[in-house]
Amino acid sequence: MLKSKICDLLGIEYPVFQGGMAWISDAQLAAAVSEGGGLGIIASGSAPASYVREQIEKLCALTNRPFGVNIMLMSEHADEVAKLCAEMKVPVVTTGAGNPSKYMSDWKQAGVKVIPVVASAALAKLMTRLGADAVIAEGGESGGHIGELNTMVLTPVVCGSTSLPVIAAGGIADGRGLAAAFMLGACAVQVGTRFLTAEECNISDVYKQKILQANDLSTMVTGRRLGHPVRCLRTPFARNYLKAEYEGMPDDELEALGAGSLRRAVKDGDVERGSFLSGQSAALVSQIQPAADIIKDIVEGGEKLLRGAAQWVK
Ligand code: TUI
């Protein structure tokens, strides 16, 4: 049985988090993951607090198990969502795309477990000092907004900079990734891309098929020029956006081109105008399955590899 200190800390069965993916990680997906023994996470993305409240209420009708809410700190609604999470005393808050320092004391007072995504050792140290319960080291193999470092370096660097439990993310889609992450010092993994093909994941069929068909060269990074690099599938939209970036399209026009593009991918499956965020691990995803089976496959695969690791030592 694969257990780690994060299981006891959060009251979950397996050390697997589901990534909080904007427009995607709703109550249905998060509840299925929590029911499957992992930590389901509702993504607030750029939505207002009213949407997040609705999703939390829906989730609580579907499961009694622990869950999390992810707060995307670049959102104009981040303040109100942060307040809601404290008011509703959600079990776990994860944060992304920024520094959550100003909210930490409110969450701690409300008894919320706080687990920020850190993209550097410096932020890991600051979060440790401010009372975070764990940190997520999310490397650049991830889908969506990414930092500079990849998982292979970020994870051990973050582990070396804090005594808190570290959850590794970025490029992890199966037992091999979980075993590798544990060897790097992590005590849990966060998985996003593989859950895109969960039966309970409410995205367009086009999106699911594109993930199933993806290979190792299917993702690319847009948004570097505006300072918000984002990994996504290599679609006509992404190619055009990158071309516009390099051909010097003015910032406001570039922003207008990107506005609404996540929704158009998730809801409409629009490859001409939608941004299909995906991690590199789409290359490792080949099946539509219930979320609970995905968790079992990752955990059982990881357990087998970790048990067999002694074979390398003579
Ligand atoms: O946040 C994510 N992934 C995301 S957010 C998102 S929505 C979006 N849409 C359009 C443009 C940009 C975002 C899609 N995917 N992952 C967590 C994450 N956080 N990755 C990297 C970071 C990060 C980076 C720097 C966290 C903290 C940080 O430091 C900030 C500071 O001020 O120290």
Q: In the predicted model, what is the mean pLDDT of residues 84-109?
A: 98
Ligand 1 near 229 CB (within 6 A): no
Could you tell me if residue 96 is inside a domain? yes
For the chain, report the end-to-end CA distance as a whole number of angstroms.
Answer: 25
Ligand 1 near 200 CB (within 6 A): no
- For 128-144, the pLDDT digits (tens) are 999 999 999 999 999 99
Distance (Å, whole) CA 236 – CA 224: 18
> Residues 189, 233: one domain?
no
Could you tell me if residue 214 is inside a domain? no
Binning pLDDT at 50, 70 and 90, where does residue 188 land? very high
> Residues 98, 246: one domain?
no
Could you tell me if residue 61 is inside a domain? yes
- For 33-78, the pLDDT digits (tens) are 999 999 999 999 999 999 999 999 999 999 999 999 999 999 999 9
Q: In the predicted model, what is the mean pLDDT of residues 262-289?
A: 97
Could you tell me if residue 159 is inside a domain? yes
* Range(s) of the domain holding residue 263: 219-277
> Residues 80, 227: one domain?
no
> Residues 136, 243: one domain?
no
> Residues 49, 172: one domain?
yes
pLDDT higher than 90, residue 29: yes
User: 231-266 b/e with 16+ CB inside 10 Å = b?
Assistant: bbbbbebbeebbebbeeebeeeebeebbeebbbbbb
pTM above 0.75, yes or no: yes
Task: Report pLDDT for 269.
Answer: 96
Ligand 1 near 263 CB (within 6 A): no
Could you tell me if residue 213 is inside a domain? no
Number of domains in the chain: 2
Identify which of 24, 75, 117 to mutate to test ligand 1's pocket (most ligand atoms within 8 A of the CB).
117
Average pLDDT, the chain: 97
> Residues 66, 183: one domain?
yes
Q: In the predicted model, what is the mean pLDDT of residues 104-122?
A: 97
Task: Report pLDDT for 1.
Answer: 87
> Residues 239, 122: one domain?
no
Could you tell me if residue 208 is inside a domain? no
Could you tell me if residue 37 is inside a domain? yes
How much distance in Å is there from the Cα of 289 to the middle of ligand 1? 28
For the record, the structure tokens of 193 come out as: 């891309």
DSSP conformational letter for 26: -
- For 191-236, the pLDDT digits (tens) are 999 999 999 999 999 999 999 999 999 999 999 999 999 999 999 9
